Amino acid sequence: MRHLARVHPSTEQRRSNREELTRFCTHCAELFGAPTAPADKPLRGRVCGNCGLGVILTCSSATLTAPRAAFLVVTADLRVSASSRAAEDVLAIPDGSYGRPLLSLLTSPAGIGELARAVIRAANGTLAPSTIPVLVASKDLEARIGGCGNPPAALLVLEPVAS
Amino acid sequence: MSGIRTNAAAELLGVSPNTLRSWERRFGYPEPRRTAGGHRQYELGELEALRRALLETHNISSAIQVARQRGEGLGSSSRLVEAFDRFDEGLADRLMEESLALRSIERSVEELLLPALEIAESREGREAEYELACRWATGWLHAARRVCPAASRPDGVLLFDSSPGLTLEGLQVQALELGLRRAGFRVLLLSVGLAQERMTRAMRALDPTALVLCGTGATLDVVGRLVYSVRQLGSSAPLFEYRGAMPVSGSHNIPSLGGTPSEAVRNLKAMVDGSAFGRIAAVASRAGSRP
């Protein structure tokens, strides 16, 4: 089953070079370009200035390619620690997805073991994304899974299956 | 105590004053006091808790949830549980150290360590965290026991433990042992299932003034044999139970020391020091080998 999770080829080529990074809001999913904040002021720009409800995280620009995407931020213990507004619409859970086990929200035709492995790998620091088919609320989608942070977590970007 | 004005609070958190006010409306946190002039005054503790939480979480509502829990004060049991969840023994040590700066060892154990273990035990699917919590707490209690002053009382207390291995109940017994040592008693903790011939030397060395049945793993038969063995060895020390250790659902004639280590230590001290102890000892002596 492992071969069903394919690694994004364009990112794979860049892995030897410096990763291209982008910052994004965990709530409104706006993109803010590469990180520029000085290390001695970690809170400067930590909270999204647009919506005031999301935290600004960093990920590979190959994982999150467009603003206002539907995504989940998942910790290494496979719990959802944040979700974008668009993802909440896709998941359609009245109480929100925060704190829920990821595998209670979505499954994968490739197997939940494969999905869990991809998420844990990303949550442990692998920025380069891999793509895996997922089933969310009876909808067939694709999840692009890459690392993000800080604190370290996996970013699952939910998208329609590429034809 | 003076609070922090909105602009300074917003600066501290790296947000705009408008964002800070919107959190107050939406989440009710941070919740400022108002001056006579109607200006907001934020508590530094709340801001500090939120500042740390923002760096550790992935969205504002969870950051506020974490900050609220931390707002319970220094070294709250929820923070200790958080340390267990992160498998961070260093943080757990630090929280206990913080607590010891404000509370006694006894209060730190009863208000922080044991409640955190209760929370850790009650959660499903968190067995690894609970095991870590038990192992860490065992180590902490042993370390605290090692720095206890020498016994200052002639009275010896023999604890018979029937709790299964690495559990909260076992740690309650260890906490009682620590409390008794700190109260100046000579203490020996033995397993309830020990054979009579193995107990002889221990009984002679300690010459206990009181026997305490602890843990919830003993059957009535085991308790009966234990008391018989003790009486055979010539001891007339009265038997007490701790935290409902007697394996009977109805009434029985074994006096209870209470449900917490400090309560048990207090009761035992009162009984040893006061006249009540003499009466209980006499009753136990007459009762012979009956538990």
Domains of chain B: 6-70 (1.10.1660.10), 77-145 (1.10.1240), 151-287 (3.40.50.2300)
pLDDT surpassing 70 at residue A66: yes
Asked whether the ipTM of the predicted complex exceeds the cut of 0.85, the reply is: no
pLDDT at A120: 93
Q: Are strands B210-214 and B239-241 parallel, antiparallel or unpaired?
A: parallel
How far B21 CA sits from the closest chain A CA (Å)?
10
Structural domain containing residue A147: 2-18+62-160
Phi-psi region of A68 (alpha: psi -120 to 50; beta: other; left: phi over 0): left
Contact (CB, 8 A) for A141 and A159: yes
pLDDT at B1: 45
How far B238 CA sits from the closest chain A CA (Å)?
51
| Domain assignment present for A133 | yes
Pairwise pLDDT comparison (A72 vs B77), residue with the higher score: A72
Lowest-confidence segment of A15-29, A114-128, B68-82, B260-274 by average pLDDT: B68-82
In A, minimum Cα distance to B129 occurs at: A77
pLDDT at B101: 72
Pairwise pLDDT comparison (A44 vs A100), residue with the higher score: A100
Cα separation, A2 vs B169, whole angstroms? 45
| Domain assignment present for A49 | no
Cα separation, B209 vs B112, whole angstroms? 31
Closest-CA residue to B85 (of B143, B127, B139) = B127
Q: Give chain B's largest Cα–Cα span.
A: 79
Q: How confident is the model at residue A15 (pLDDT cuts 50, 70, 90)?
A: very low
Q: Alpha helices of B183-289 — where are they, by DSSP H? A: 196-206, 220-232, 261-273, 275-287
Cα separation, A74 vs A155, whole angstroms? 6
pLDDT at B226: 84
How far B242 CA sits from the closest chain A CA (Å)?
38
pLDDT surpassing 70 at residue A5: no
| Domain assignment present for A141 | yes
Lowest-confidence segment of A3-17, A115-129, B92-106, B187-201 by average pLDDT: A3-17
| Domain assignment present for A66 | yes
pLDDT at B44: 77
Cα separation, A91 vs A93, whole angstroms? 6
Select from A42, A43, A82 the Cβ nearest to the Cβ of B58.
Answer: A82
CATH assignment at residue A10: 3.30.450.20
| Domain assignment present for A93 | yes
* Chain B residues lying within 8 Å of A73, measured CB to CB: 58-59
Contact (CB, 8 A) for B75 and A74: no
Select from A27, A52, A151 the Cβ nearest to the Cβ of B56.
Answer: A151
pLDDT at B165: 81
pLDDT at A156: 95
**Local confidence pLDDT in tens for the 291 residues of chain B:** 457 899 999 998 999 999 999 999 999 989 888 888 888 888 877 888 898 889 889 999 889 988 887 665 555 787 788 889 989 999 899 889 878 877 789 989 998 899 999 999 998 888 999 999 999 999 999 999 998 888 999 999 999 999 888 899 999 999 999 999 999 999 999 988 777 777 888 888 899 999 999 988 888 888 888 888 888 888 889 989 999 877 776 667 788 899 999 999 999 998 888 755 544 544 444 443 333
Radius of gyration of the CA atoms of chain B, in A: 25
Whether B61 sits inside 8 A of A42 (CB atoms) is no
| Domain assignment present for A45 | no
Whether B19 sits inside 8 A of A47 (CB atoms) is yes
B158 membership: H or E segment, kind and range: strand B156-161
Domains contained in chain A, number: 1
* Chain A residues lying within 8 Å of B62, measured CB to CB: 81-82, 98-99
Select from A46, A98, A151 the Cβ nearest to the Cβ of B61.
Answer: A98
Pairwise pLDDT comparison (B4 vs A2), residue with the higher score: B4
- Our CA dihedral for A8, A12, A17, A18, rounded to 10 degrees, sits at 40
pLDDT at A130: 92
Q: Are strands B210-214 and B156-161 parallel, antiparallel or unpaired?
A: parallel
Contact (CB, 8 A) for B222 and B190: no
Rounded to whole angstroms, what are the CA distances from A84 to A22, B15, B57? 16, 20, 14
